[in-house]
Chains A and B, each alone.
Chain A
Amino acid sequence: MSTLVDLYTSLLICVMGVGIVLCIYRLLIGPSLAERTVAGDGALSMIMGIFILVSVLEETGVYLNSVLIIALLGFISTLTVARYLEFVDDK
Chain B
Amino acid sequence: MIAQAFKVFFLTFGTFFMFIAALGIFRMPDVYNQLHTSTKAITVSLVNLLLGAMIDIGSISVAMKSSLIIVFQFLTAPVAAHMIARVKHPDAWDGTIIDEMKGEPTAGRGSEEPEESVAVETEEDSENETPAEN
Contacts and interface: CB of A to CB of B under 8 A. Distances in A.
Interface of A: 1, 5, 8-9, 12, 15-16, 18-20, 22-23, 25-26, 32, 34-35, 37-39, 41-42, 45-46, 48-49, 52-53, 55-56, 59-61, 64-65, 67-68, 71-72, 75, 78-79, 82-83, 85-91
Chain B at the A interface: SS class: helix
A45 to B, nearest CB: 5
Contacts, number: 148
A19 B46 contact: no
B28 to A, nearest CB: 9
A19 B108 CA distance: 35
A1 B80 CA distance: 41
A16 to B, nearest CB: 6
Interface of B: 4, 7-8, 11-12, 14-15, 18-19, 21-23, 25-26, 31, 34-35, 38, 42, 45-46, 49-50, 52-53, 56-57, 59, 61-62, 65-66, 68-69, 72-73, 76, 79-80, 83-84, 86-88, 91, 106-109
B114 to A, nearest CB: 17
Nearest to A86: B108
9 contacts: A18-B22, A22-B25, A39-B34, A45-B46, A46-B18, A56-B53, A71-B72, A86-B109, A90-B88
A48 B23 CA distance: 17
Given A35-B34, A64-B66, A71 B76 contact: yes
A26 B26 contact: yes
